[in-house]
Copies of this chain bind each other. A is one copy, B any other.
Amino acid sequence: MARNITRGLMIGRFQPFHNGHLSLTRQILKECSELIIVIGSAQFNYIYKDPFTAGERMLMIHEALLESLVDLKRCYIIPIANDENNSRWFAYLKSMVPPFNSLYSGNILVTNLTSSSSHKEIRIIEPRYERKTEYNGTSIRRKIASGEKWKKFVPASVYRIIERIDGVYRIRMLSESDSNPQIW
């Protein structure tokens, strides 16, 4: 990598992008000169676990960073599909993003894959997640589906986008189609 640039990478499904994610972007931008946000499972959408398209998630992240005055000139936001061959996945990831020095991840699988001899040059950093039980995609989708309050767990811009694209209705529908007997 050139000219003393250091890059930190974080990865998530961002279904939706919430305050915990936002806070991690700030941590990384303090410790590295540039930030790469990887939108994982980019090919999935319109299922209860993954309600939003990669494009919608891109928009949420972009607008949330803008609104929070995060410097977009220092950020990359990149959608990546899954790979059924985990051992190959990390090479796939590296082919899709600019070179990076640090991977912020508490996921044991990601850590394990990265620590193999081929990727020794990358440092793994355990993120400091705040309020992990509330700033949590699974829990937020559940609240949306059951009509509980969830506004304060996501950036205001994310809330507005979900409203605009009728995301609450979508998540409720999808949660029902998961629990009801399927017709076809």
Contact = CB atoms under 8 A, between A and B. Distances in A.
Interface in A17-71: 40, 42-47, 53-56, 58-59, 62, 66
Contacts of A95: 45, 53-55, 85, 87-88
B58 A78 contact: yes
Contact of A108 (B2, B86, B173): B173
B97 A55 contact: yes
A55 B40 CA distance: 15
B96 A174 contact: no
A139 to B, nearest CB: 9
Contact of A138 (B86, B98, B105, B181): B181
Nearest to A42: B96
B112 A62 contact: no
Interface in A125-184: 129, 136-138, 160, 164, 170, 173-174, 176-177, 181-184
A184 B11 CA distance: 7
Contacts of A43: 84-85
